[in-house]
Structure 1
Amino acid sequence: MFVCVHNAGRSQMAAAYAHHLSGGAVEVRSAGSAPAETINPAVREALLEEGIDISAEKPKVLTDQAVRASDVVITMGCGDTCPFYPGKRYEDWVLEDPAGQGVDAVRPIRDDIKRRVTELLASLGVPVQPLPGDR
């Protein structure tokens, strides 16, 4: 599960990468502590450059149920709003917020998230698949 404040940028990128890089082998969730109305357009554009289309995604609110159903919870700037349950793996990724930024500023954030998701999948023993744009 990937959690950020608005679920419109960082957590959406991480979820998209986790889904695509795992070839669908892991169940991926994302949510926000204060969800936005829509996905950040610069984030959508930056992922399209990678061959990933998230235009159908919508920001979702963080729920206790979603956290309970997750084995790994990655937070990105949402502080203490994420519920904590013993036995889950938690990581906090310090990443710049893409809110209000153009695609040029979002690309380095995207690339950092891609690297972190690749490392996360490797730590879970999940083989990394090529992205749609890599084929």
Structure 2
Amino acid sequence: MTTGKPSVLFVCIHNAGRSQMAQGFLIHLAGDAIHAHSAGSDPAATINPAAVEAMTELGIDISAQTPKKLTYAAVEAADVVITMGCGDACPVLPGTTYRDWQLDDPAGKGVDAVRPIRDQIQQRVQQLVDELLGART
């Protein structure tokens, strides 16, 4: 891990649901103690409205986010890369920690179907925050 704040990059295909929710949770839970970024191997035109609604229910606003294209530089700058279905499109670099989170894709699903995905992401992000910053008491 680099010196200073750890940097986490969340990657999914469209950068419109899972990775955006994960980035939102990381910012909410860790504040500015961890750099949080997200990107997609094939970004959508807009963020998933059901993901926005599901996050808003928990007081986290991701509505201003826009899907971003995954770049080599973004991966290079990250200490931890969390993939969520980006497959072989995610470059693997030495010195970077990679984890693959198997999560359903919320694309095309309503908010009722997105809530369980959101809750799984919240739990995993909390575990990641605890690991990177030390368990909170």
TM exceeding 0.5: yes
Residue matched to 1:55: 63
1:55 is displaced (CA, Å) by 1.0
User: Which residue pairs with 1:99 in the alignment?
Assistant: 107
Secondary structure of 1:16 counterpart: helix
Residues 82-121 of structure 1: matches in 2 within 5 Å? 82-121=90-129
Q: Percent identity?
A: 62
Aligned counterpart in structure 2 of residue 123 of structure 1, from 110, 122, 131:
131
Conserved? CA contact 1:72–1:90, under 8 Å? yes
Counterpart amino acid of residue 13 in structure 2: V
Secondary structure class of the residue paired with 2:124: helix
Residue 9 (structure 1) aligned with residue 8 (structure 2): no
Instruction: Measure how far apart 1:30 and its partner are.
Output: 0.2
Point out 4+ residue stretches in structure 1 off by more than 4 angstroms: none
Partner of 2:5: none
SS at match of 1:45: helix
TM-score w.r.t. length of structure 1:
0.92
Instruction: Tell me what 1:19 maps to.
Output: 27
Q: For residue 125 of structure 1, report the CA deviation from its aligned partner.
A: 2.1
Amino acid at match of 1:40: N
SS in 2 for 1:23: helix
Q: Under a length normalisation based on structure 2, what TM-score does the superposition of the two structures give?
A: 0.91
Q: Find the counterpart in structure 2 of residue 34 from structure 1.
A: 42
RMSD across aligned positions (CA): 1.0
Aligned to 1:131: none
Corresponding residue to 2:72 among 58, 64, 71: 64
With over 3 angstroms needed to count, the CA separation of the structure-2 counterparts of 1:58 and 1:126, relative to structure 1, is farther
Tell me, in whole angstroms, the C-alpha distance in 2 between the residues paired with 1:21 and 1:34: 27
Query: What is the CA deviation profile of residues 84-103 of structure 1, one whole-angstrom value per residue up to 9, with x for unaligned ones?
Result: 00111100000000000000
Equivalent residue of 1:2, what SS?
strand
Gaps of 5+ in 2: 1-8
Q: Which runs of 5+ in 1 are unaligned?
A: 129-135
SS at match of 2:104: coil
Alignment length, in residue pairs?
Answer: 128
Give, in angstroms, the shift of residue 28 of structure 1.
0.6
